[in-house]
Amino acid sequence: LSRLREVMTTPTGRALAEERHAFMVQFFARLEAEIHDER
């Protein structure tokens, strides 16, 4: 999933992939912080 945005070929696909990639990055950062109790 982290490389999906690199293979999108349409402008709409790239825009959606960028938004979803940013969400995913933020999600995993928050999850890691919670795991290490750094809320």
pTM, rounded to two decimals? 0.76
Per-domain boundaries in the chain = 4-35
* pLDDT recorded at residue 21: 96
* pLDDT tens digits, one per residue of 1-39: 889 999 999 999 999 999 999 999 999 999 999 999 865
Residue 36: predicted pLDDT: 93
Strands (E), 1-39: none
* Tally of CB atoms within 10 A around 35: 8
pLDDT at residue 1, as a whole number: 85
pLDDT at 11: 96
Ramachandran quadrant class, 37 (left: phi over 0; alpha: psi -120 to 50; beta: rest)? left
Mean pLDDT rounded to a whole number for the chain: 92
d(CA 27, CA 12): 23
